[in-house]
Amino acid sequence: MNEPDPTIRVIVASTNPVKARAVELGLQAALPARAISLASLAVESGVSDQPFSDAETLTGAENRARAALAARPDADYGFGVEGGVEDTDHGLLTFAWIVAADGRGRIGRARSAAFLLPEIVAEKVRSGMELGHADDDVFARTDSKRQDGAIGLLTKGALDRTGLYVPAVIAAMVPFLNPDLYGP
């Protein structure tokens, strides 16, 4: 008898290495006994380049996860990772939504930790600049969103964007780890 392939095939709906690495590390933690084959694919989010609300950010992550699976139906899971911002009474908050989807219509959703942006960055984002470009402008960097991100710049490396996203990747897998509690 042929054994089923123990390797989990994953498609990440982004070519950003930070997002792919976060999914890889999160899955390794959530499914330590399984081998993971991970590929990245650029897909459209269907939302603004800089999502400006919790709801828009979640929609972008869901759209990306589903689009990745549609493009690669042989994958076991599609992941959408969408960073966004939202104005609050305390200032401009930034966070990411992570969505895991499978080919059977099951979905897991989790949000990363959130933090307030400094007003100098927030002003640029409110005026229409993407957060990554605003960070690059304020911190004299290039392509920081594909590296340490705002959290890495603001914590002076104590936490980077990958590390911020990994717990949310693990949390997005909760329904898949507990199908008896979450159903089909």
Tens digits of per-residue pLDDT, 20-42?
999 999 999 999 999 999 999 99
In the three-class reduction of DSSP (H, G, I as helix; E, B as strand; rest coil), residue 89 is classed as coil
Cα–Cα distance list, 134 to 23, 105, 138, 151 (Å):
25, 37, 6, 13
Bridge partners, residue 86, by sequence: 93
Give pLDDT, residue 146. 82
**Both tokens assigned to 12:** 């990440």
- In this predicted structure, the answer to whether residue 158 has a pLDDT above a threshold of 90 is yes
> Which pLDDT band, with edges at 50, 70 and 90, does 140 fall under?
confident
Cα–Cα distance list, 10 to 44, 74, 122 (Å):
18, 9, 34
Q: Name 155's Cβ contacts closer than 8 Å, sequence gap at least 6.
A: none
- In this predicted structure, the answer to whether residue 19 has a pLDDT above a threshold of 90 is yes
> Which pLDDT band, with edges at 50, 70 and 90, does 145 fall under?
confident
Question: Which domains can be identified in the chain, with CATH numbers?
Answer: 7-112+161-182 (3.90.950.10)
Helix axes 119-126 and 131-139, enclosed angle (nearest 10): 140
- Pairing type for strands 7-12 and 35-40 reads parallel
Tens digits of per-residue pLDDT, 77-130?
999 999 999 999 999 999 999 999 998 889 999 999 999 999 999 999 999 999
Give pLDDT, residue 2. 53
